[in-house]
Structure 1
Amino acid sequence: MILRNINKSEIESVIKATTPEKSSFKDILESWINEGITKLEWCFVVEDDENILGRLIYGVFDNSLKMLDIWMQNFNDETKEKLLSESLKIMKLKGFNNVECHLYSDKNNFQQYVKALASVDFKITQEKKSFVWEDGVISSLPGDLCFRSLEQVGDQEFINAIEKVTEGTLDEDDLAWVKEFGSKEAAIKYFNLLKDIDYKEDWWKLAYNEEQELLGLVVPQRLTESIGGINYIGVIPEKRGQGYINHLVIECLKTFKDNNIKKVIADIDVKNYPLDAVLQKQGFKLDCTMLVLKLDL
Structure 2
Amino acid sequence: MPTTPEIGMTPEQIQTEIAAGRLQPRWSQIALDDDGSIVGRALWWGRDELRPIALDVWDAVAGHDMSEVILSALLEQGHAAVEVHGTPTPLPHTMRVPITWRDNTAVANDVHAKIAAAATAGLSHHNERRQFQWDQGSPIQEPSPQLRFEQADDDTFINLIALVAHGSLDVMTRRQLTSTNALSLAREEVDYYRSCPGDRDWWRVAYDQQNTIIGIAIPSATPTNRNVGYLAVLPEHRGHGYVDDLLGFITAFHASAGAPRITATTDAVNTPMAAAFERAGYRCTEVRIDLEP
TM tier, smaller? 0.7 to 0.9
Paired position in structure 2 for 1:133: 134
Counterpart CA distance in 1 for 2:10 and 2:118 is 29
* Structure 1 residue 40 displacement after superposition: 4.4
Counterpart CA distance in 1 for 2:44 and 2:261 is 25
- Does the C-alpha gap of structure 1 residues 30 and 180 become closer, same or farther in structure 2, counting only changes over 3 Å? farther
> 2:32·2:40 contact (CA, 8 Å) conserved in 1?
yes
> 2:58·2:71 contact (CA, 8 Å) conserved in 1?
no
> 2:141·2:248 contact (CA, 8 Å) conserved in 1?
yes
Counterpart CA distance in 1 for 2:124 and 2:153 is 37
> 1:85·1:120 contact (CA, 8 Å) conserved in 2?
no
Counterpart CA distance in 1 for 2:139 and 2:9 is 34
Counterpart CA distance in 2 for 1:260 and 1:47 is 45
* Structure 1 residue 250 displacement after superposition: 0.9
Which residue among 68, 84, 106 is the counterpart of 2:56? 68
TM-score by length of 2: 0.79
Other structure's SS at 1:42 match: strand
Q: Cα RMSD over matched residues?
A: 2.9
- Does the C-alpha gap of structure 1 residues 56 and 195 become closer, same or farther in structure 2, counting only changes over 3 Å? farther
Paired position in structure 2 for 1:148: 150
* Structure 1 residue 195 displacement after superposition: 2.2
* Cα deviation digits, residues 137-165 of structure 1 (max 9, x gap): 1023543322123xxx1211111121122
* Structure 1 residue 234 displacement after superposition: 0.8
Paired position in structure 1 for 2:30: 45
Structure 2: which amino acid aligns with 1:44? Q
Counterpart CA distance in 2 for 1:268 and 1:28 is 24
* Structure 1 residue 32 displacement after superposition: 5.4
Residue 233, structure 1, aligned to residue 226, structure 2: no
Residue 246, structure 1, aligned to residue 247, structure 2: no
> 1:65·1:96 contact (CA, 8 Å) conserved in 2?
no
Residue ranges of structure 2 left out of the alignment (5+ in a row): 1-7
Q: How many residues align?
A: 268
> 1:103·1:292 contact (CA, 8 Å) conserved in 2?
yes
Counterpart CA distance in 1 for 2:188 and 2:21 is 20
Which residue among 34, 38, 43 is the counterpart of 1:57? 43
Counterpart CA distance in 2 for 1:161 and 1:255 is 21
- Does the C-alpha gap of structure 1 residues 80 and 142 become closer, same or farther in structure 2, counting only changes over 3 Å? closer
* Structure 1 residue 20 displacement after superposition: 10
* Structure 1 residue 288 displacement after superposition: 2.6
Counterpart CA distance in 2 for 1:177 and 1:243 is 27
* Structure 1 residue 200 displacement after superposition: 0.6
- Does the C-alpha gap of structure 1 residues 214 and 90 become closer, same or farther in structure 2, counting only changes over 3 Å? same
Paired position in structure 1 for 2:92: 100
- Does the C-alpha gap of structure 1 residues 32 and 172 become closer, same or farther in structure 2, counting only changes over 3 Å? farther
Mapping of residues 104-253 of structure 1, within 5 Å: 104-106=96-98, 110-111=107-108, 112-121=110-119, 122-135=123-136, 136-149=138-151, 153-225=152-224, 227-253=225-251
* Cα deviation digits, residues 175-230 of structure 1 (max 9, x gap): 112222210001111211222232411222221112322211122222244x2222
Counterpart CA distance in 1 for 2:286 and 2:113 is 18
> 1:220·1:232 contact (CA, 8 Å) conserved in 2?
yes
> 1:167·1:236 contact (CA, 8 Å) conserved in 2?
no
Counterpart CA distance in 1 for 2:93 and 2:267 is 15
Paired position in structure 1 for 2:267: 269
Which residue among 12, 28, 45 is the counterpart of 1:23? 12
Structure 2: which amino acid aligns with 1:247? D
- Does the C-alpha gap of structure 1 residues 248 and 120 become closer, same or farther in structure 2, counting only changes over 3 Å? closer
Paired position in structure 2 for 1:90: 81
Paired position in structure 2 for 1:15: none
Greater CA deviation, 280-289 or 81-90? Answer: 81-90
- Does the C-alpha gap of structure 1 residues 67 and 23 become closer, same or farther in structure 2, counting only changes over 3 Å? same
- Does the C-alpha gap of structure 1 residues 160 and 282 become closer, same or farther in structure 2, counting only changes over 3 Å? same
* Structure 1 residue 167 displacement after superposition: 1.7
Structure 2: which amino acid aligns with 1:101? H
Residue ranges of structure 1 left out of the alignment (5+ in a row): 1-18
- Does the C-alpha gap of structure 1 residues 224 and 66 become closer, same or farther in structure 2, counting only changes over 3 Å? closer
Identity of aligned residues (%): 18
